Structure 1
Amino acid sequence: MTERHAKPVAASAIEKHVYKVFPNDMNAHNTVFGGMIMAKCDRLALVVAERHSGHVCVTASVDSIHFRAPAKGNDTLLFSLALNRSWRSSMEIGARVMAENSYTGEVRHILSAFFTFVALDKDDKPVDVVEVLPETDEQQRRFDNADIRRNHRLAMRNELSETNGAGRKPAPS
């Protein structure tokens, strides 16, 4: 595809989506339940993928979820997500979550993750998506790094499929 068919990152990005933490969001350790943050990221990443592709999309994989710091009661979570790169029918969306103390204004980086989505046609078959056009140095860095992560995912999938293939020893009986 050529650049005139590409969409800029900003066309589908979500910047600082706000979520106020309440007591029902807490885990037994009295910090925000990580699964809730992950689910919110997945939903927002879906919005980015569908905005970019113009198609129904499904989560294909989630990579590198890193919880960097806990979120606490009375924090406000700020979700920022953007398309890092698109391939034939798949797209990588990067997520970054910040926790803002509503009273002091202190902001902490609490989570980074990468979601891969696949665009589907009306018959639920993968469909081609347009390329993404990085416009800043930071977007170009994320674009380049996305290809490295994809190559690692594919290599690991191939290696694992080989270990489950014909060369595998039978399980002891």
Structure 2
Amino acid sequence: MEDKATLIRQVFGDSSDDDDYQNYELNSRSEPESSPVAGESADAGLFRNPGWERVKEIRGLWICRDFLTHVQQLSLLSAIQNEGWFLQESHNQAMRFGDLPGWVNGLSYSIREALLSGDNLSEPSFTSEEETLFPILPLELLGREPLFDQLIVNLYHPGQVGHVPPLSFVTIAFE
């Protein structure tokens, strides 16, 4: 059981402490000055040659550390909060299909750029016939517009433990 907790902590980081969450709550009531998900380009300093790491213990799971800065994370959280999906305390998940909010398109663009420009082959020795030059998302998916047509957002309060997501997903975990 402790090995599983250690693995989850290594992949998703430690859970936020109450102070960070309260600071976010206080600062998220106003509209952010700029949004990292509004289609900023790599030239705007959004990306820092992201490196992707395969999580060997979980088939198909990759992590891109430091994908968004702390400020960008808060901006993204603010955009999610402004959607009003979690106004009722009983709501802890929002699923959207088809036409997604505009900020998702910017985030999708950022993910595509990180996949295409990042160090995706940090471990060049592939062991599976399914592996390609783009092992995280196949090339035919990378060219799709929009890149994503569905979104699941889960709300976790400090101290809550996450669940295991479906096998096919892209996740951004905030530390």
| TM-score of the pair, normalised by structure 1 | 0.26
Relative contact order, CA 8 A, sep 6+: which one is greater? 2
Q: Which structure would you say has the larger Rg?
A: 1
